[in-house]
């Protein structure tokens, strides 16, 4: 199988740097399946599940908002946060969900958009963690 170079950066630095066979990533418009020689593009990544397929593994990640850049032989992702399924602290995600849910239920003196985004991130982490 042909491969391409994938690099993933977060505000903490380089998270991933290696050759992969396929990347499944959700943008505002589509879930893209990126294979070698994909057409160049730049797109906004949404809070979602991301899948990296290499010769011997298929690994799932929870990803926060970011930017995807596809060049000829190289794909770069800049994301606010990314955790592989086994890096997700499920109790923390459940607590974040509870916090956001109760803020949204009370709706007094809160930043609704911020709480909604926190809830989406928490639900995404929970869903990636629980994914088969």
End-to-end Cα separation, the chain, in angstroms = 25
Shortest Cβ 55–ligand ATP spacing (Å): 26
Shortest Cβ 82–ligand ATP spacing (Å): 6
Written as six digits, the tokens of 71 are: 């060049």
Q: Which is nearer to ligand ATP, 72 or 92 (CB)?
A: 92
Residue 121 near residue 53 (C-beta atoms within 8 A): no
CA–CA distance, 105 with 114 (Å, rounded to integer): 14
Q: Which is nearer to ligand ATP, 17 or 98 (CB)?
A: 98
Q: Comparing C-alpha atoms, which of 96, 80, 82 is closest to residue 52?
A: 82
Shortest Cβ 71–ligand ATP spacing (Å): 26
Residues forming the site for ligand ATP (CB under 6 A): 64, 81, 83, 87-89, 92-93, 96, 118, 121, 125
Q: Which helix (H) or strand (E) holds 95?
A: helix 90-106
Other beta carbons within 10 Å of 60:
18
Shortest Cβ 96–ligand ATP spacing (Å): 4
Q: Which is nearer to ligand ATP, 4 or 129 (CB)?
A: 129
Q: Which is nearer to ligand ATP, 21 or 64 (CB)?
A: 64
């Amino acid at each position: 199988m042909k491969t391409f170079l994938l690099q993933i950066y977060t505000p903490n630095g380089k998270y991933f740097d290696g050759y992969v066979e396929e990347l499944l990533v959700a943008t505002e418009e589509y879930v893209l399946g990126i294979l070698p020689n994909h057409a160049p593009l730049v797109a906004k990544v949404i809070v979602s599940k991301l899948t990296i397929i290499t010769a011997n593994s298929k690994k799932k990640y929870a990803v926060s908002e970011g930017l995807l850049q596809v060049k000829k032989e190289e794909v770069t992702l800049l994301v606010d946060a990314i955790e592989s399924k086994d890096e997700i602290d499920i109790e923390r995600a459940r607590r974040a969900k509870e916090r956001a849910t109760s803020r949204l239920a009370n709706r007094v003196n809160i930043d609704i958009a911020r709480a909604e985004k926190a809830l989406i991130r928490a639900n995404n982490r929970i869903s990636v963690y629980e994914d088969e």
